[in-house]
């Protein structure tokens, strides 16, 4: 079985690609011993992430079962999930200090 991407935890809403993926492709995603199928909507380079399901703006992004950031826009299933639609919640000296 050729694996196209890896998800690391059952709660993850993104998967990491281990191949370059192209729009329209049915990606095989390994999650431990299970296999998921996701239709890819955009070009996803090797090592990058795509949404495993619809992620609304403001929702936390989960990888390793942990929060890695927050969606700054709606991300459709199979779309590229990266710096253009995810922000970090840490080291943000640019944000006003919380009261």
Partner 1 sequence: MEFMGYRRADGTVGTRNYVGVLSAVVCVNEVVENIVRQVQGTARFTHHQGCCQTPLDIGKVNHALIGLGRNPNLHSVIVVSLGCESTDLSGVIAGIQASGKRVEHLVVQEIGGAVRTAAQGVLLAQDMVREASLQQREPFPISELVLGMKCGSSDTTSGLVPNPAIGVASDLLVAAGGVSILGEVTEFIGAEHILARHAVNQTVAKQILHLVDRMEKRAMAVGEDIRGGQPTGGNIKGGLTTIEEKSLGAIAKAGSAPIQAVYEYGERPTVKGLVVMDSPGREPEILTGLAAAGANVIAFATGRGAPQGFPFVPVLKITGSRTAAEKMSDHIDMNLSGVIEGTDTIPDAGKRILEELVRVASGGMTKAEISGYSNAMDIFMWGPVI
Of 21-29, 31-39, 40-48, 51-59, the segment contacting partner 1 by CB under 8 A is 40-48
Give yes or no for residue 81 binding partner 1 (CB under 8 A): yes
Task: Tell which one of 68, 74, 76, 77 touches partner 1 (CB under 8 A).
Answer: 68
* Closest C-alpha to 87, from 64, 57, 65, 66: 57
Write out the DSSP string of 22-39.
Answer: -TT-EEEEEETTEEEEEE
CB neighbourhood size of 3 (10 A): 13
Residue 45 binding partner 1, by CB under 8 A: yes
Tell me which residues touch partner 1 (CB under 8 A). Answer: 3, 6, 8, 16-18, 45-49, 61, 63-64, 66-69, 81-83, 86-95
């Amino acid at each position: 079985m050729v694996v196209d991407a890896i998800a690391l935890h059952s709660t993850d809403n993104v998967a990491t690609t281990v191949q370059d993926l192209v729009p329209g492709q049915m990606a095989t995603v390994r999650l431990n011993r299970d296999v998921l199928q996701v239709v890819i909507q955009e070009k996803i380079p090797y090592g990058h992430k795509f949404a495993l399901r619809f992620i609304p703006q403001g929702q936390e992004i989960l990888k390793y079962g942990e929060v890695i950031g927050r969606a700054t826009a709606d991300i459709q299933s199979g779309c590229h999930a990266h710096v253009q639609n995810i922000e970090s919640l840490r080291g943000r000296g640019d944000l006003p200090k919380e009261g």
